[in-house]
Amino acid sequence: MHGLFNRAIQTFLRDTYGVAAWDAIAARAGIAADGFETMLLYDDAATEAVLAAASRHLSRAREELLEDLGNYLVSHPGLVRLRRLLRFGGVSYADFLHSLDELPARARLAVRDLDLPELELTEAGEGRFTLVSRGAFPGCGHVAVGVLRAMADDYGALVLLEHEGVDAGGEERIAIQLLDSRFAAARPFALVAAGG
């Protein structure tokens, strides 16, 4: 797994549950407390070990943790850059949803060896969409749900999101209903960051 992802899990656990919790989880997972570096690659087993240890230590389901992680990635003030990069996907939430198909290609433009799940959006009309997520790792659809929820806040859109489970082939389906694309004021987004 890419270090960017592992590092994200680490900072999410540390910022949300505290340094002591992270240290305990790292020890339980058998990794050093310094954890992961963003620009290195790690064995997938290390990621799974951290997720399993966090789930046991915090008594929380793996799926819940992954969704919270997705939410954290977009809404935590320290990670404003990721939120900005996602906002480049479109001028409205619907635009953003349609840009998800090309998200893996966008990610690879920035970091060549970063593998995001293949995402495929189908539109069923009346604001209803289905997002199919394939690959990266089991449960990445839950991260996607967290990201989509937080991005809806960012765009000021009102949405209902539901993870509809995994099929035998490992495809995860997410049902999206866009109720109101201008529900609340969007968080401001300038194409070029201040001072950039």
Give the full edge-to-edge strand order of the sheet including 118-125: 118-125, 128-134, 172-180, 158-166
Whole-number minimum distance, CB 35 to other proteins, in Å?
12
Residue placing its CB nearer to other proteins in the complex, 46 or 107: 107
Contact with other proteins (CB under 8 A): which of 19, 27, 33, 39? 39
The 3-state DSSP class for residue 131 equals strand
- Pick the piece of the chain touching other proteins (CB under 8 A) from 19-27, 47-55, 149-157, 185-193: 185-193
Contact pattern for other proteins over residues 144 through 183, marking x by CB under 8 A: ----------------------------------------
- Pick the piece of the chain touching other proteins (CB under 8 A) from 37-45, 46-54, 128-136, 141-149: 37-45
Residue placing its CB nearer to other proteins in the complex, 110 or 168: 110
Q: Does 110 bind other proteins (CB under 8 A)?
A: yes
Q: Does 84 bind other proteins (CB under 8 A)?
A: yes
- Pick the piece of the chain touching other proteins (CB under 8 A) from 31-39, 135-143, 152-160, 173-181: 31-39
The 3-state DSSP class for residue 21 equals helix
Residue 54 CA to residue 22 CA, distance in Å, equals 8
Contact with other proteins (CB under 8 A): which of 88, 162, 179, 182? 88
Count of CB atoms situated within 10 Å of the CB of 44: 12
Whole-number minimum distance, CB 21 to other proteins, in Å?
23
Q: Which two tokens stand for residue 30?
A: 């058998």
Q: Does 27 bind other proteins (CB under 8 A)?
A: no
Cα-based distances in Å from 119 to 63, 91, 194: 18, 19, 31
Q: Does 185 bind other proteins (CB under 8 A)?
A: no
Count of CB atoms situated within 10 Å of the CB of 7: 17
133: Cα separation from own chain's centroid? 12
Residues recorded for the chain: 196
Q: What angle do CA 194, 6, 175 make, to 5 degrees?
A: 80
